[in-house]
Structures are given as C-alpha cells and as structure tokens.
Structure 1
C-alpha cells in the first residue's frame, strides 16, 4: 500500500493536482496529463530544485525541513491544519495504541453525562463509529444507534443521504475529519477495513479519498430533512471526552425559542417510552375473595 510506505509523497501528489495554474498565478501552457500543477512548477514556486521535489514525491527523501514543507504548503494553498498534518507524515510520532471496537467503551462518567442530557447526543470514536447515544439522538437520526458507523450510513445508505439536504458538504466534512483523526496511522486494521469497503462501494468516497483533505470537525450548524418534522436546523458541538482515547461527545441543540426547538420537543415526546398502564384496582368481589 503506497500510502503507508510513502505517505508524504502520496499527500503531495494529491494536493498538487488540486491547485490550478491560475490559482498559483502562473501561465497555463502546454498539455497537462493530469489536472493541477506540474512537479517542476511546485518546485519553482516553493524555491526548491525540481530534482529535490521529485525525490520528496517518490519517497526518496523522507526528512525535509519544516521550512521546505512550509514553502510547499504555501504553494499548495494548505491551511495551518493541513500543514500540521503534513508535518506528521515526516515526523516520528508515537504510534497510537490500537483497539478494536469491542474493546472501546466510553468511561462510566461520560455515559452518565450522556444519559442526563435533554438534547440529542452521542459518543463517537475516531472511525466515526457510534459507541453510545441517547433516545433523542436516535429520534433525530435512527442510524445513530450503537454499533453504527456514520461513514457507512452517509455514503451507502439512501435513507441516510435523504436525511441530509446538504449531503455533499456533509460527506466532505466527514471525510476530512476521518483523515485528520487517523493522521499517520493509516495501517490501522480498522481503518484499512473501513476505507477499503467504502472505496469499493461508493464513487463519492473514492473521489473524496483521493483529495486528501484534512480538517477537524468543530462546532457548527447541521440541517436535516426529517421525515416526521420536516426541515430541522440544529447547532452541533463536539467535545473531547477526558481520559478516553479518541472519543468525542457530540451534542445537537436548537436556537432557544425557535421553531426548531418546537420540532425537537415533538421528537422528544415521540421518543419517550410509553408509561406502563396503572395497576387496576381490585373489584369489591375480588376484595372479598382476597379477604
């Protein structure tokens, strides 16, 4: 797998192909076999030799200086988060301890917090598996059930796609978040299994996978086309769980006093378990028999 043996080269090539000559401020001359910039153009704009840049892409030089990478990042229009990711591809960092899903349990305190929340909330890991969720989260999106995977649902489930009117943006966000969360640990068995399945099954996943976008998911607005309440707009917050490896608590909440708050209240009522019927009072005859 080239990406694990030459992660920096694969990343540079993918990002180079996304920058047009116009964006780089140079003339677009000659026939281009691939979209984006040529290697020699990146080298020229970054102030390094074409031969040196070629060695970087082919994995023959695995220890470029941060200054060189910063120059290349500027040419490739990478933001600070993407640059930080690129630096991890050449820096020796401790490997994350790998754990299979069956061994990844949220800490008890996080589960108690989740149970106490009146807003839709769930806990996810770095592969975007759902490790825990409350009833209201499942009322908003039934696929947020324990054991589900948000990538599979978003890319492969037509009902999951229909729930998100901004599906294109949502898929970009999830993909970039996966890349950022996994980082250099691309030979993780769980990661290989998941990305292999989605690469084979989803053209959209293959398209985004090749872009190597890296972006951390943060708080923002998410919109649903909900089958029960229609258009539903909620704020999303993501918070790291203290003491848990690669786990996040995700909470949805509406603007106070909005129609979205009213819709969420309706969903909460529907999600409440039906109370048990009260025990019937014994009839006088039964009371007599009991006596």
Structure 2
C-alpha cells in the first residue's frame, strides 16, 4: 500500500467520526426542542430532560427504540431513505434540516422538486434593475426566460421572440454572430441542458424543447446526439457588439432556493477589457438611455 493511501485512511476515519458526532448532536438537539404536545403526544408528568424521549421519537417514526438509539449515538448502522424520512417527520424537520440529516447519515439528500415556471417576483426584478447597467436574467428549469434586464437585451440581442435561453443560443442570429466563442461554448451549452434534464427524468418538456430545437438547428442536433452532460456555475462570454466592439463578461449562475430549478444569471465586466466603458456607451445609445455608471 502506498504512503498516500496510508495517509488517507486516518483522514477518512476522522471525517467519519466527526460526521457521527455531528449526527448525534443534531438529532439530540432536534429532539430536545420539541414538546410532547407539539407532536400530538400526551404530557406524562415532569421530565428530567427537556424535549422528547428517544422512545417517543422511535414510536412516532415507526422504528425500533434500539435502532433509533443507535442512530442517535452515531453507530455504524444501515439507514434507508424511508427511515430517515420517517425520523425527519417525527422531529418536524424542515426541508433544509431533512437534507442535513441525510448528509450526516452518509446519504445524498433527495432531489428537491423544481417549482413550476413562475414570473420573476418584484424583489428579483428590482435586483435585476439594480444590477444594471450590467446584463442579467432569470431562467426556469427548462431555461425559459422569466425576466431579462435591458442591458442583457442590448448586449446579447434578446428580443420579443427570445423566450428560451437554449433556443436563443442556437437560433438567434445576432447572438451567434457576435458571440466570439460560439463554436467552443456550444457543446457545453447542450451538455448543460442535458444535465438539467437528467434532474427531472419524469418531465417530458425537456425532450420536447430539445426535439423541436434539433429540427431547426443541425448543430444542436449533432451535439445533443453525443449525450454529453456537464454542469457549470461560471463562464466567460466575449461579445463583439456591432456598435461598440468587444465586451467580455464573467457570468455567474445562482440558484434561487425559494424557487427550485430557477436560476439568476449575472454578468460582470472583466477588468482590463474596456468592457465597462463600452457597455455604458452602448446603453446610453439605447432609447431612454442614461443608465447610472457602474460602481
């Protein structure tokens, strides 16, 4: 066995012990914050310790008292999704606490259900307006635009017929011509959509969007047939705008926890590329221009 392998074993053991300790403390703290009346149990006189007893949690979860005790002690036992869900319900855990319990037990949390496409909230629209004069937009799980600020429309050429980020990337002629790395980025875009589609295998809308796009874009059809999948939270976009020249942006994708499946994509000018100056000049030339300068 190599020295590297020998060094890694203690690290894994320490991580496992720490996770078990965190599991013990988490379950104990969640149990102690509840009262019998909060979970529909009768009060049974004075208690030496606050909260529920382990036996009561076991009964509420429908598991054996010994098994739950071992779980709370962080012992090396097998757990399943169904049992963890039962424990989460018994302890009245919210979605974030339930996912934390899964991780502490050594399992991947269930994929959170995506919210249906909804219009951007007034708060998110104000955020996009505040982000101006930088480009920004919000897309749902199918990559449909739910909000696009004026800077994104001016820079990327999004118009009234642009409803879907994927479709626009492959069919918007102005975007394609101006995007300096279109050929290099196109495979990653198709792979990103396939990765998102895999998150929702029961949702036929992804196949419909991809199928319709493949009918009008041979490039997308070829890339989609590769079955590549990739996830990206950042990207660099260089746009050669016909009015002001090349602008280079760092794009960052932020998930919106209140609306699973929706993402906020913000673009920031890359320093040293004169993008900020060109962007301000571009927006001043637009109808109703006169945007505030970037900080």
TM class by shorter chain equals 0.5 to 0.7
Residues 106-255 of structure 1 correspond to what in structure 2 (within 5 A)? Answer: 106-118=120-132, 119-143=134-158, 148-255=163-270
In 1: Cα distance, 2:270 partner to 2:111 partner: 42
Kindly tell me: are residues 229 and 254 of structure 1, through their superposed partners in 2, closer, same or farther at Cα, counting changes over 3 Å?
Answer: same
Contact 1:237 1:251 in 2 (8 A): yes
Kindly tell me: are residues 144 and 251 of structure 1, through their superposed partners in 2, closer, same or farther at Cα, counting changes over 3 Å?
Answer: farther
- Report the alpha carbon displacement of residue 214 of structure 1 after superposing the two structures with TM: 1.4
- Report the alpha carbon displacement of residue 120 of structure 1 after superposing the two structures with TM: 1.1
Residues 57-96 of structure 1 correspond to what in structure 2 (within 5 A)? Answer: 96=113
RMSD: 2.7
Kindly tell me: are residues 272 and 257 of structure 1, through their superposed partners in 2, closer, same or farther at Cα, counting changes over 3 Å?
Answer: farther
Q: Secondary structure at the match of 1:249?
A: strand
- Report the alpha carbon displacement of residue 94 of structure 1 after superposing the two structures with TM: 6.2
Kindly tell me: are residues 257 and 200 of structure 1, through their superposed partners in 2, closer, same or farther at Cα, counting changes over 3 Å?
Answer: closer
- Report the alpha carbon displacement of residue 157 of structure 1 after superposing the two structures with TM: 3.0
Contact 1:120 1:134 in 2 (8 A): yes
Unaligned runs of 5+ in 1: 1-90, 276-291
Q: Secondary structure at the match of 2:285?
A: helix
- Report the alpha carbon displacement of residue 211 of structure 1 after superposing the two structures with TM: 1.5
- Report the alpha carbon displacement of residue 255 of structure 1 after superposing the two structures with TM: 3.0
In 1: Cα distance, 2:270 partner to 2:168 partner: 27
TM-score under structure 2 length normalisation: 0.55
In 1: Cα distance, 2:115 partner to 2:207 partner: 13
Corresponding residue number in structure 2 for 1:52 = none
Corresponding residue number in structure 1 for 2:274 = 259
Q: Secondary structure at the match of 1:183?
A: helix
TM-score under structure 1 length normalisation: 0.56
Q: Deviations over 1:91-123 (max 9, x none)?
A: 996684573x5xx22233222211211211111
Q: Secondary structure at the match of 1:271?
A: coil
In 2: Cα distance, 1:241 partner to 1:138 partner: 22
